[in-house]
């Protein structure tokens, strides 16, 4: 019987997502990933090289998923509140993703996975926002890249900094996620209004 390489790689990636989201790049263990996947750990080295390369592969895979699920086209850029809400929804459905990004920032800031491709992807978002600014749909008081950064950071903060929600807006701490989402959308629309 032939070995199903694609299936094995996917099982390892899925197990690695869980392990890296829970423990970060530094705390994750190859043996635990292999055990979660039910695959011999030698396959990880064969397919991905080492733990750092596996973390990079996990991030690349997860970034492709969010890019496909939450686009920001030139037509959509005029309403960054809507975009923030869609990013919030993605994080709510996929809480591991924002944890992976947080771990990357905390532990791997000097070795960003797929940095060139990611920079190119963000450049497209920045260009869309800049166009919306030129068209008068968004404020031009803030540079387009700063707006994109702020929106992404604001959306992620609901999941990475829940303690701030508890201290700053306690009424939203135990509120339904839809209320938190609406608060985010309202703030972003207010901050980006032209």
Domain ranges of the chain: 1-51, 70-192
Other Cβ atoms less than 10 A from the Cβ of 119: the count is 11
Assess whether pLDDT exceeds 80 at residue 1: no
In CATH, 1-51 is 3.30.300.30: no
Percent of the chain at pLDDT exceeding 70: 98
- Distance separating alpha carbons of residues 76 and 96, to the nearest angstrom: 26
> Tens digit of pLDDT for each residue in 12-60?
999 999 999 999 999 999 999 999 999 999 999 999 999 999 999 999 9
Q: In this structure, which topology does domain 70-192 adopt according to CATH?
A: Tetracycline Repressor; domain 2 (1.10.357)
> Tens digit of pLDDT for each residue in 55-91?
999 999 999 999 999 999 999 999 999 999 999 999 9
Predicted confidence at residue 89, as pLDDT, reads 97
């Amino acid at each position: 019987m032939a070995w199903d390489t694609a299936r094995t790689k996917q099982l390892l990636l899925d197990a690695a997502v869980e392990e890296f989201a829970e423990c970060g790049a530094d705390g994750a263990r190859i043996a635990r990933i292999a055990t979660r996947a039910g695959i011999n750990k030698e396959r990880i080295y064969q397919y991905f090289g080492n733990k750092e390369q596996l973390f990079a592969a996990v991030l690349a895979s997860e970034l492709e998923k969010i890019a496909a699920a939450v686009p920001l086209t030139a037509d959509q850029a005029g309403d960054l509140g809507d975009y923030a809400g869609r990013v919030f929804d993605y994080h709510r459905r996929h809480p591991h993703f924002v944890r992976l990004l947080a771990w990357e920032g905390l532990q791997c800031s000097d070795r960003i996975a797929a940095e060139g491709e990611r920079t190119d992807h963000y450049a497209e978002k920045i260009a869309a926002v800049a166009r919306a600014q030129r068209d008068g749909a968004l404020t031009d008081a803030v540079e387009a890249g700063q707006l994109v950064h702020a929106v992404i950071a604001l959306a992620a903060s609901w999941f990475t900094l829940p303690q701030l929600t508890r201290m700053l807006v306690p009424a939203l701490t135990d509120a339904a996620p839809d209320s938190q989402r609406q608060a985010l959308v309202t703030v972003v629309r207010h901050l980006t209004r032209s």
